[in-house]
Amino acid sequence: MRWIYVQELLDPQDGSAPVPDSGSDAGKTVRDRRFYDERGLERVIFFSDAVFAIAMTLLALEIRLPLLPDTVSNGELLAALGSIWPRYLSYGISFLAIGTSWIAHQRLFRTVCCYDRRLMLLNIVFLMCISFLPFPTSVIGEYGETAVATILYAASMAVASSMSALLWWYVNGQGRLVEQPLPPAEFRRGALQKLWTPAVFLLSIPLALWSPIAAMFSWMLVGARAFWY
Amino acid sequence: MRWIYVQELLDPQDGSAPVPDSGSDAGKTVRDRRFYDERGLERVIFFSDAVFAIAMTLLALEIRLPLLPDTVSNGELLAALGSIWPRYLSYGISFLAIGTSWIAHQRLFRTVCCYDRRLMLLNIVFLMCISFLPFPTSVIGEYGETAVATILYAASMAVASSMSALLWWYVNGQGRLVEQPLPPAEFRRGALQKLWTPAVFLLSIPLALWSPIAAMFSWMLVGARAFWY
Amino acid sequence: MRWIYVQELLDPQDGSAPVPDSGSDAGKTVRDRRFYDERGLERVIFFSDAVFAIAMTLLALEIRLPLLPDTVSNGELLAALGSIWPRYLSYGISFLAIGTSWIAHQRLFRTVCCYDRRLMLLNIVFLMCISFLPFPTSVIGEYGETAVATILYAASMAVASSMSALLWWYVNGQGRLVEQPLPPAEFRRGALQKLWTPAVFLLSIPLALWSPIAAMFSWMLVGARAFWY
Amino acid sequence: MRWIYVQELLDPQDGSAPVPDSGSDAGKTVRDRRFYDERGLERVIFFSDAVFAIAMTLLALEIRLPLLPDTVSNGELLAALGSIWPRYLSYGISFLAIGTSWIAHQRLFRTVCCYDRRLMLLNIVFLMCISFLPFPTSVIGEYGETAVATILYAASMAVASSMSALLWWYVNGQGRLVEQPLPPAEFRRGALQKLWTPAVFLLSIPLALWSPIAAMFSWMLVGARAFWY
């Protein structure tokens, strides 16, 4: 008896037997696996929005002038502004990359009808990857000519987009958290689509060993694809 | 067959034939061009709000004292606080500029009834311009006496306000995403109004070559106009 | 005719004649002075929330260790952590000060039923004051022993809380934007209450000339009052 | 008469006699203790979300490369990236720690039906602790091998999670702000659970005196527990 109590204390929501899904607003008690309350789901969504927005806006903090004398001529300032062009580029690439990732998140959660604890945790791990991205962006903005900086960036993006794919899979697999489960064919197609972005970033890693610039151009094509369609 | 599949994989939402607009809540399937779900639109809006708010608040990070000794007299601290007056000024100007831009965004989305993927992407590119603004603000706060800093600022603001105009045009053109299309006369008038801000900033560029201070004063008049009416 | 057109272009919402208030959901056309749409008002509110939240969280960025060698002993690190105690204090004071200001904002907007352009602009100017506060906080955290730092802080807080009072007055004066106008006695009482905080901060300015520490203690009493009641 | 007026001015919401709880939407007047308006509660919630999101995203700002020469070889950059591994670790730990704290906050407020001024203040003090966490994270990322850094971190987390427990107790105690009061047994169990996290962090403090690494591993187990159940 005592032992069961401690067990429950440690993992109060565990339950290996499948909980019958009542399908209605049964989210009132703490023990349920799935919650259908609108306000709770909105919090998950708006919290994610805030993390996305902050990560994107913090990218701009990496655009900084090198140290200049207190009074500069027009020519010197212009030269300094020009010398940091890789930072503009990396800002633009990362902003659009996180932005399209946000769009995918928005599209995914449009179909979500309920949530559970695992979704929240997966979402937080995904957001941890997103909010990490300003760091590789800053590295590539400063040392973009090196293969290592390019590979760090590609690897970070590959991990983040894999987490996005995992989130998609968790929500849609077995129609777990959606109102209407996807037909099997669409589910397979969607899964393939979600693997497109990590695949491109993974494939750009060997490319970067040969030419970092070529790898960066391959990412811009991903962005362009997201933009035009 | 295989080829079509890959095509669909690449651009699942393409469709050159015009999709008939059912005008009702048909936003349930992924393939639709326009989405009418309230929650999805709210995300677009609150995400934008967050980016605006962060960009505005980050402006304050640029207000920094120069390096001082560990213990200062009252006079030294007062002198140091006074010496960074251009940073207060640039903070105020940029905060109000982004703030009025936010008001325009708010006013625009008040009329929006639905959204599509292109709106989201245009909005993200617009937010990319907004979130870039702390950088020219910091440059003008440090080197405001140079024409180059002034021109960088004016050009950034011109680009950002042009994007705002483009967003307005995309939403209202052909009554694309609004409940009630504007009458042609009001549409023309609105478009002219939206071009007012980029025009002022563009015109201030040659002015800055002659006198950076004069150019900055011309912007304050834009702000004042937005403020009083 | 042409001239009138330009006039309208410049200030499309001007109208010196009082606009009859229909009192109903007449917020559909752009020309109206007051807007009753729920979503628009929510944006004003959540945008303010975001600015408050960011300004408060950025305060923590000012808590930084002095430059230490790469490997430190426990004693050295403890001494360094202790040496920055004024930064903990200023963080706490400012966080609670902005926090109580947020509570006042929340309480005010609970009664607001509609908004107009002037409210949005007043609100933005108010937020500009709030988002400026991390700067005096950082100054007082570093040079808190000087009268100048203390006065800068008190003056900034006095301006911010005056703006808060102005906002309160604008919303409630003549029952402008509330559902039920306050009775005259409560309006006068509320206005007096709103002037309490700026008054305390203004009065602490001469106190700071005599003793900065005494001035800081007087603020803590304000915070304590807000906390306990 | 005059004195009473001043008293009311100072603490307009004081009232030592218990206010009868009408249980209905009586939140219209300022004097009530509990407010049931949906919008006001949402503000408290979304404001908290924003603070959580910003604190978590700011953690990434602490991941910074050491100062390197302007052009580096691949090997040098790789070595530099490797040398800051404690910063990746502290980022991950803190992100997940604040994230699980957010989940607890979300779960708590799912049951909240109304709010009062004390809840708002407790919530703000709790958020002050959360938004302080990037500082110990940065200290432990730089001086993680010292016991002092580890203890600072553990103490900060213990305080933050105690505040979370206090918030839980305030909401649920005597069924104060929830729709359906918890049965006494569940209340006791929940209180015990809430004390689990501060207890672990407190117990890791003596452990850190013996071995900082062991203490950090004990926290990861807390995180793992939250993750898997």
Nearest to B57 among C46, C131, C145 (CB): C131
A139–D46 CB contact, under 8 Å: no
CA C150 to the chain's CA centroid: 18
Confidence of residue A62 (pLDDT cuts 50, 70, 90): confident
A60–B30 CB contact, under 8 Å: no
**Residue owning tokens 């960036």:** A153
pLDDT tens per residue across span B63-79: 988 888 878 889 999 99
- Which of A51, A36, A195, A43 has the alpha carbon at shortest distance from A126? A51
CA-to-CA distance for A213 and D100, rounded, in angstroms?
40
Residue in chain C lying closest to D36 (CA): C110
Rounded to 10 degrees, what is the CA torsion of A169, A171, A174, A176? 160
Record the tokens describing residue A167, joined without a space: 């989130």
**Least reliable range by pLDDT among A107-116, B94-103, C2-11, D191-200:** C2-11
CA-to-CA distance for D150 and D144, rounded, in angstroms?
6
- Which of B165, B112, B164 has the alpha carbon at shortest distance from B133? B164
**What is the nearest CA distance from D155 to chain A, expressed in angstroms?**
22
Most confident of A188-202, B123-137, C180-194, D204-218: B123-137
Residue A164: pLDDT above 90? Answer: yes
pLDDT tens per residue across span D12-41: 343 333 333 444 434 434 434 678 778 889
Instruction: List Cα–Cα distances, B40 to A36, A106, B117, in angstroms.
Output: 17, 7, 11
Q: Are A145 and A216 in contact (CB under 8 A)?
A: no
Residues of chain D with Cβ-Cβ distance to A125 below 8 Å are 96
Residues 6+ apart with CB under 8 A from D33: D13, D15, D19, D116, D117
Record the tokens describing residue C149, joined without a space: 């730092």
Stretch A169-191: mean pLDDT:
88
In degrees and rounded to multiples of 5, residue A112 shows phi and psi of -75, 135
CA-to-CA distance for B73 and B2, rounded, in angstroms?
78
- Which of B99, B120, B133 has the alpha carbon at shortest distance from B47? B120
Instruction: List Cα–Cα distances, B188 to B103, B162, B199, in angstroms.
Output: 20, 16, 16
In degrees and rounded to multiples of 5, residue D115 shows phi and psi of -145, 160
What is the pTM (predicted TM-score) of this model?
0.85
Q: Are strands D115-116 and D34-35 parallel, antiparallel or unpaired?
A: antiparallel
Give the count of beta carbons closer than 10 Å to the beta carbon of residue D8. Answer: 13
How many interchain CB pairs under 8 A, B with C?
109
Give me chain B's average pLDDT, please. Answer: 81
pLDDT tens per residue across span C26-76: 443 443 467 877 888 989 999 999 999 999 999 999 898 888 887 888 999
pLDDT tens per residue across span A133-151: 999 999 998 888 899 999 9
Q: Are C74 and D208 in contact (CB under 8 A)?
A: no
**What is the nearest CA distance from B66 to chain A, expressed in angstroms?**
11
**Half-sphere exposure of C181 toward its Cβ, with a 13 Å CA cutoff?**
10
Q: Are A202 and A150 in contact (CB under 8 A)?
A: no
Write down the H helix ranges in C15-146: 38-58, 74-83, 85-110, 117-132, 134-143
Residue D52: pLDDT above 60? Answer: yes
- Which of D37, D28, D89 has the alpha carbon at shortest distance from D63? D89
Give me chain C's average pLDDT, please. Answer: 81
CA-to-CA distance for C36 and C112, rounded, in angstroms?
10
Residues comprising chain A, all counted: 229
Instruction: List Cα–Cα distances, B101 to C14, C53, C198, D56, D92, in angstroms.
Output: 19, 21, 30, 28, 36
Residue A22: pLDDT above 90? Answer: no
A35 strand-pairing partners: A115
Stretch C108-118: mean pLDDT:
89
pLDDT of B56: 95
Q: pLDDT over 70 for what percent of chain B?
A: 82
C49–D54 CB contact, under 8 Å: no
- For residues D95 and B176, the model is more confident at D95
Instruction: List Cα–Cα distances, B159 to A91, B125, B190, B193, D110, in angstroms.
Output: 16, 11, 18, 16, 43
pLDDT of A51: 96
D81–A152 CB contact, under 8 Å: yes
**Neighbouring chains of C at 3+ CB pairs within 8 Å?**
B, D
Confidence of residue D177 (pLDDT cuts 50, 70, 90): confident
pLDDT of C45: 92
pLDDT of C136: 94
CA B164 to the chain's CA centroid: 6
- For residues B14 and D65, the model is more confident at D65
pLDDT of C7: 33
Confidence of residue D166 (pLDDT cuts 50, 70, 90): very high
Residue type, B75: G
Instruction: List Cα–Cα distances, C25 to B106, C21, D130, in angstroms.
Output: 18, 10, 41
C52–D55 CB contact, under 8 Å: no
Query: What's the DSSP call for residue D66?
Result: P
Confidence of residue D134 (pLDDT cuts 50, 70, 90): very high
How many interchain CB pairs under 8 A, A with B?
108
D54–A50 CB contact, under 8 Å: yes
Residue type, B143: Y
CA-to-CA distance for B192 and B195, rounded, in angstroms?
5
B91–C139 CB contact, under 8 Å: no
Residue type, C117: R
Q: Degrees (nearest 5) of the Cα angle C134, C138, C139?
A: 120
Reported for B190-199, long-range contacts at CB under 8 A and 24+ positions apart, including other chains, are B191/B165, B192/C9, B193/C9, B193/C12, B194/B104, B194/B161, B194/B164, B194/B165, B194/B168, B194/B169, B195/B165, B196/C9, B197/B157, B197/B161, B197/B164, B197/B165, B197/B222, B198/B157, B198/B158, B198/B159, B198/B161, B198/B162, B198/B165
Q: Are B152 and B136 in contact (CB under 8 A)?
A: yes
Residue C197: pLDDT above 50? Answer: yes
Residues of chain A with Cβ-Cβ distance to D72 below 8 Å are 143, 146
- Sign (positive or negative) of CA dihedral C77, C83, C85, C90: negative
CA B225 to the chain's CA centroid: 18
D12–C229 CB contact, under 8 Å: yes
Q: Are C215 and C150 in contact (CB under 8 A)?
A: yes
pLDDT of A194: 86
| Residues in B lying within 8 Å of A, measured between beta carbons | 8-14, 27, 30, 35, 37, 39-40, 43-44, 46-47, 50-51, 54-55, 58, 61, 117, 120-121, 124-125, 127-128, 131-132, 134-135, 138-139, 142-143, 145-149, 152
**Residue owning tokens 């950002």:** B160
Stretch D153-161: mean pLDDT:
94
pLDDT of A218: 85
CA-to-CA distance for B142 and A60, rounded, in angstroms?
17
3-state secondary structure at position D69: coil
A14–D229 CB contact, under 8 Å: yes
Confidence of residue D117 (pLDDT cuts 50, 70, 90): confident
Q: Which of A44, A57, A87 to mutate to test the interface with B (most CBs of B within 10 A)?
A: A57
Query: What's the DSSP call for residue C30?
Result: T
Stretch C197-218: mean pLDDT:
89
Q: Are B223 and B197 in contact (CB under 8 A)?
A: no
Q: Which ipTM was obtained for this model?
A: 0.81
Record the tokens describing residue A86, joined without a space: 């890789």
pLDDT of A153: 93
Record the tokens describing residue B139, joined without a space: 């440059």
Stretch C167-178: mean pLDDT:
89
A11–D229 CB contact, under 8 Å: yes
Q: pLDDT over 90 for what percent of chain A?
A: 41
